[in-house]
Structure 1
Amino acid sequence: MLPDIDVVTRDDLMRLITKYRLRPIKRLSQHFVVDPTVIRDIVKHVPGGSRVLEVGTGIGVLTYYLARVASQVITIEIDGRLVRIAERVLSGLGNVSVIQGDALRIPWPNTDVLISNVPYSITSPLIIRIIKERIPMALLTIQREVADRLVSGPGSDNYGRLSIITQCNYSVNVLSTYPPDSFYPSPEVYSTLVMMTRREPCYSDIRILESVTNLLFRHRNRILRWVLNKYLGPEAVNTIINVGIDVNTRIRQLGINELIRIADLLGQFINDTNNH
């Protein structure tokens, strides 16, 4: 049994890692939380009695504290070694289910909140799946630079496909940022806790929005006319001109409302291109 969340220390968490002689697997981007502040920051934002889905169980430390506030925690871990350790750490907790599997591939249960200390290698695919699954709320610890992308606006160096698709479907709040030594082993970057709260989508078909932004942001510093001519031809350019959108705007300067209008108009052209 772990100490109460208010009194658990870094030494407590490091001792647990030492006890199980953990050797993190680099290709799985494994970094374990050893700063209790990170755990407390996450848990305090979890509504009491909620159903929680956790991606990346690790050795079950965060899971343990989530189970104290949630009605149910279903936690997914790809690494069988960690599953076995987590089952020992979490033994005796009747409201926790540990599943071994790839969280990007297996079905997700209905949930109120998704929580993850996200393995950096799956950050973007996980966020896209959260959006497609319409998860009501997500608390994610991610690379600071990815957090910057989620909240960036037009013209910013960090503005891109992930900014647009996320902001179209979720309100994003940056909660806290943590130094590398908050995790073991320490990553080379700072990490940021963000809260994503679902809102009414600004565009109904995420697949079209994905396709259009994927095409346009291949050349984010080019003007719209150049990209459309290159991939879709002059008819697509004329279609955009006819509704009053300035085709001399650089891709990275297009706002979400403009991109939604463009997606509406280009959906057919992109479908035609994909069918050839």
Structure 2
Amino acid sequence: MLPDIDVVTRDDLMRLITRYRLKPVKRLSQHFVVDPAVIRDIVEHVPSGSRVLEVGTGIGILTYYLARVASQVITIEIDGRLVRIAEHVLGGLSNVSVIQGDALRVPWPNTDVVVSNVPYSITSPLIMRIIKEGVPRALLTIQREVANRLASEPGGDDYGRLSIITQCNYSVGILSTYAPDSFYPSPEVYSSLVIMTKKEPCYRDMRILESVTNLLFRHRNRVLRWVLSKYLGPNAVNAVINAGIDVNARVRQLGINELVRIADSLRPFINHYGNH
């Protein structure tokens, strides 16, 4: 049994990792939380009695503290070696289920919150899965640079497809940022804790919005007219002008509401373009 969340120390967590002689697998981007502040920040934003899906169990440290506030924790871990350790660490907790598998592929249960100290290699696919599943809330520790992309405003250096698709479906906030030594082994970058809260989607057809943003953000610094002419032709330019959009704006300056209007006006062209 681990110490209470209010008193647990970094040394407590490092001792647990050392006891199991863990050698993290680089290919799986394994970095374990060893800073109690990270755990406290996450747990504080998990509503009491909620159903939690955790992606990446590790050895079960975060899982243990989630189980203290959640009614149920289902946690998915791809590494069988870690699953065996986690089952030992979590032994006796009746509200925890550990699943061995790839969290991007296995079916997800109905859940209130997704929590993950995200393996960096799966950050974007995991965020897209959260959006497609329509999870009400997500708490993710991710690379600071990716967190900045998620929360970025139009015109910003970090603004792009991931910002738009995420903000179309979720309110995004950056809760805190952590130094590399908050994790073991220390990654080469800072990490941020992001909260995503589901909202009414900005657009009904995500396939079209994804296709349009994929097309436009190939040339994010070009003016809209140039990109449309290159890929879709003059009729598409006219359709966007008729929707009241300034086609002389640069792609990276377009806000989500403008992109929604562009997506609507380009629907017939995108369907045709996709068939080629």
Question: For the superposition of Structure 1 and Structure 2, which TM-score range results when normalised by the shorter chain?
Answer: over 0.9
Is 1:90 aligned to residue 90 of structure 2?
yes
Q: Deviations over 1:192-225 (max 9, x none)?
A: 1111110111111111111111111011001111
Q: Among the aligned pairs, what percent are the same residue?
A: 83
Alignment of 1:223-262 (within 5 A): 223-262=223-262
Mapped contact 2:43–2:66 kept (Cα < 8 A): yes
CA–CA separation in structure 2 for the residues paired with 1:75 and 1:101: 10
Q: Deviations over 1:100-152 (max 9, x none)?
A: 11111111000000000011111111111111110000011111111111111
Is 1:149 aligned to residue 161 of structure 2?
no
Structure 1 unpaired stretches of 5+ = none
Q: Which residue of 1 aligns with 2:198?
A: 198
Alignment of 1:1-276 (within 5 A): 1-276=1-276
| TM-score (normalizing by structure 1) | 0.98
Report the number of matched residues: 276
CA–CA separation in structure 2 for the residues paired with 1:91 and 1:20: 15
Q: CA deviation at 1:13?
A: 0.6
CA–CA separation in structure 2 for the residues paired with 1:243 and 1:116: 40
Partner SS state of residue 193, structure 2: strand
Mapped contact 2:243–2:261 kept (Cα < 8 A): no
Partner SS state of residue 65, structure 1: helix
Q: CA deviation at 1:232?
A: 1.1
Q: CA deviation at 1:266?
A: 1.2
CA–CA separation in structure 2 for the residues paired with 1:149 and 1:135: 20
Letter in 1 for 2:6: D
Q: CA deviation at 1:58?
A: 0.4
| TM-score (normalizing by structure 2) | 0.98
Partner SS state of residue 142, structure 1: strand
CA–CA separation in structure 2 for the residues paired with 1:270 and 1:214: 11
Q: Deviations over 1:33-78 (max 9, x none)?
A: 0001100111111111000000000000000010011000000011
Partner SS state of residue 222, structure 1: coil
Letter in 2 for 1:173: G
Q: CA deviation at 1:230?
A: 1.2
Partner SS state of residue 200, structure 1: coil
CA–CA separation in structure 1 for the residues paired with 2:141 and 2:223: 34
Partner SS state of residue 192, structure 1: strand
Over aligned residues, Cα RMSD in angstroms? 0.8
Q: CA deviation at 1:96?
A: 0.4
CA–CA separation in structure 1 for the residues paired with 2:141 and 2:258: 30
CA–CA separation in structure 2 for the residues paired with 1:79 and 1:235: 52
CA–CA separation in structure 2 for the residues paired with 1:45 and 1:241: 44
Q: After TM superposition, which residue ranges in structure 1, 4 or more long, deviate above 2 angstroms?
A: none
Q: CA deviation at 1:243?
A: 2.2
